[in-house]
């Protein structure tokens, strides 16, 4: 029986989502928990996508095949009782045997948080602590250039020469509350470090170091060296997934 | 020179505010940092009040005497550079030599958060995870009985027979947003575990196990055994202090 699992995690303590030998990863924790439920057989978790070291998820999905008879409710409970307290299964749902958590994704949303105000120790792992005031109006101008279908090569870290970097962003918003800037991107898919690199350039715009229009030029240049710094992991959340 | 220090902390990793031999405490961390600034002399931090193991502070104050010449700004920076990242000095201010961070307090506010919704791993140390729906209207009825001057003996843990338990609560509110209940108490002072014991009884009211009016009877009984469970530490914050 194939199940689709909806889950959330605090990425602070992990080397990222994907299993890496000798490192603590979210995938490994989930596979261990699923294997216990699955009569201790080796069990594979196939997620919507990876998240990098320190990145969080408010809403992430994976499919898993369970060969013992179990209800959706009991599977949720069994997984949670075998997971550490920084990973949590929100929901489980039986799906068709050919359902695929990665291939069937229609849309994803990522959220990025920047704190321009005083450092708050309770949020130290959950926002990028920036400390200074950013020009949010210029950032709002700049973010529009990411909308639509583009070759995002200039915003990808470590991409292979021939990798297809064409993606579509359908929604991109910036808001501010209590000195915290929240940036949201919705799209059909995102490349490695793409969101953090887009945020990096938006911060440069917010610092008035480059004009909003420069973002369009960088995008068109397809040149990674032009796009500048990658924003840190702790401010990034996978926040929505649509099938 | 005496300085008043405003600071915040994530209490999750600490055995509480007050120095205890062999345990990691917030006071010890602050005194170590202050001592480095103070030419490595033994330096005492006198706070507004203690907080217990796992309790947080969004706004806490302490006074400290520094015998080297230093500006307010530099003291803030020097303390923060010698503090771990879960304790943060927000502001420093030079005060009169007889100013006392505990005796001069006029009012304190404590905040308590209860999550009735799905467990969120990112907030695991910052809310009491309750999981079920509480009757917030009944809780709003009940909280009124705490307002005014009362002998809070029934809501104190480990009190001494002769301790004065008379305190005044000037404001007590309950609100709900996104399935998180926020309870705030403002008063001239609070006894050990008083807030968590008051929250404990409000939860019982919210569960419809006792009527709102029973809270008044328990208060009048001055009998600790009647008041029931202490709410857990992770939901509690010292949130305001007024001098």
pLDDT in tens, B78-108: 999 999 999 999 999 999 999 999 999 999 9
- Contact flag A121-B90 (C-beta cutoff 8 Å): no
Q: Model confidence over B170-192: pLDDT tens digits? A: 999 999 999 999 999 999 999 99
The whole-angstrom distance between B41's CA and the closest CA on chain A is 27
Q: What are phi and psi of A200, to 5 degrees?
A: -55, -45
The whole-model pTM stands at: 0.93
Buried/exposed A79-107: b ≥16 CB within 10 Å, e otherwise: bbebbbebbbbbebeebeeebebeeebee
Nearest CA in chain A to B9: A121
Question: Residue B141: which H helix or E strand, with range?
Answer: helix B136-143
Sign of torsion over alpha carbons B68, B72, B76, B81: negative
Shortest CA distance from A87: residue in chain B: B121
- CA B53/CA B87 separation, integer angstroms: 14
Which of B8, B86, B121 faces A8 most closely, judged by CB atoms? B121
Chain A from 152 to 181: CB within 8 A of any B CB: none
Check: CB of residue A138 under 8 Å from CB of residue A161.
Answer: no
Query: Across residues B46-50, what is the average pLDDT?
Result: 95
Mean pLDDT of B103-117: 97
Residue A94 contacts B, CB cutoff 8 Å: no
Residues of chain A predicted below pLDDT 50: none
The predicted structure's pLDDT at residue A218: 95
A31 HSE (CA, 13 A, CB side): 16
CB proximity list for A65: less than 8 A, separation 6 or greater:
A1, A2, A3, A43, A44
The pLDDT value given to residue B159? 64
Question: For B2-95, CATH number?
Answer: 3.30.70.580
Three-state secondary structure string covering A120-189: CHHHCCCCEECCCCCCHHHHHHHHHHHCEEEECHHHCCCCCCCCCCEEEEEEEEEEEECCEEEEEEEECC
Q: What is the pLDDT of residue B161?
A: 66
Predicted confidence (pLDDT) per residue in A31-70, tens digit: 999 999 999 999 999 999 999 999 999 999 999 999 999 9
- B121 closest CB neighbour out of A85, A119, A121: A85
The confidence score (pLDDT) of residue B238 equals 98
CA distance B175 to chain A (A): 19
Note whether B121 contacts A90, CB cutoff 8 Å: no
Judge: B119–A88 Cβ closer than 8 Å, yes or no.
Answer: yes
Active site includes A52? yes
Number of A/B CB contacts below 8 angstroms equals 42
pLDDT at A161: 66
Dist. CA B72–CA B92, nearest whole Å: 5
Considering only the beta carbons, identify the residue of A8, A90, A121 that sits closest to B87.
A121
Contact B207, B142 (CB under 8 A): no
d(CA B202, CA B172): 12
Q: Please report the residues numbered 8 through 47 in chain A whose beta carbons come closer than 8 angstroms to any beta carbon of chain B.
A: 8-10
- pLDDT the model gives residue A227: 81
Catalytic residue numbers of B, as ranges: 52
B120 touching A, CB under 8 A?
yes
Architecture label for domain A107-242: 2-Layer Sandwich (3.30)
Domain boundaries, chain B: 2-95, 107-242
* Per-residue pLDDT tens digits for B183-237: 999 999 999 999 999 999 999 999 999 999 999 999 999 988 888 899 999 999 9
Helix (H) or strand (E) holding A78: helix A72-81
- Record: contact B118-A86, CB cut-off 8 A: no
Instruction: Give the pLDDT confidence score for residue B31 in this predicted structure.
Output: 98
Question: Which of B51, B121, B127 best tests the A interface by mutation, with the highest count of A CBs <10 A?
Answer: B121
Please indicate whether, in this complex, the C-beta atoms of A8 and B120 are within 8 angstroms of each other. yes
Catalytic residue, candidates A10, A52, A65, A135: A52
Identify whether the C-beta of residue A238 lies closer than 8 Å to the C-beta of residue A57: yes
* pLDDT interval class at B162 (50, 70, 90): confident
**CB-based contact, B58 to chain A, within 8 Å:** yes
Q: Which residues pair with B237 in a beta bridge?
A: B56, B111
Query: Which residues have C-beta within 8 Å of that of residue A56, sequence separation ≥ 6?
Result: A8, A9, A10, A11, A12, A126, A236, A237, A238, B122
CB contact under 8 A, B8 and A86: no
| Fold matches, A2-95 and A107-242 | yes
A10 to chain B: nearest residue by CA? B122
């Amino acid at each position: 029986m194939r199940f689709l699992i909806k889950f959330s995690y605090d990425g602070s303590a992990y080397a990222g989502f994907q299993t890496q030998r000798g490192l603590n990863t979210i995938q490994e924790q989930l596979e261990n928990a699923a294997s216990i439920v699955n009569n201790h057989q080796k069990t594979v978790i196939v997620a919507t996508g990876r998240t990098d070291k320190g990145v969080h998820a408010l809403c992430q999905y994976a499919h898993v095949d369970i060969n013992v008879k179990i209800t959706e409710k009991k599977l949720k409970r069994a997984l949670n009782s075998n997971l550490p307290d920084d990973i949590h299964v929100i929901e489980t749902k039986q799906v068709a045997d050919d359902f695929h958590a990665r291939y069937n994704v229609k849309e994803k949303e990522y959220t990025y948080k920047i704190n321009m105000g005083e450092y708050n120790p309770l949020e130290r792992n959950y926002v990028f602590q920036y400390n200074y005031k950013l020009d949010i109006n210029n950032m709002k101008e700049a973010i529009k250039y990411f909308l639509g279908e583009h070759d995002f090569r200039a915003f990808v870290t470590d991409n292979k020469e021939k990798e297809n970097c064409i993606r579509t962003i359908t929604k991109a918003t910036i808001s501010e509350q209590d000195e915290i800037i929240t940036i949201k991107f919705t799209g059909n898919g995102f490349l490695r470090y793409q969101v953090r690199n887009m945020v990096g350039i938006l911060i440069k715009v917010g610092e008035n170091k480059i004009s909003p229009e420069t973002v369009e030029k960088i995008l068109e240049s397809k040149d990674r060296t032009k796009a500048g710094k990658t924003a840190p992991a702790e401010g990034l959340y996978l926040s929505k997934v649509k099938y």
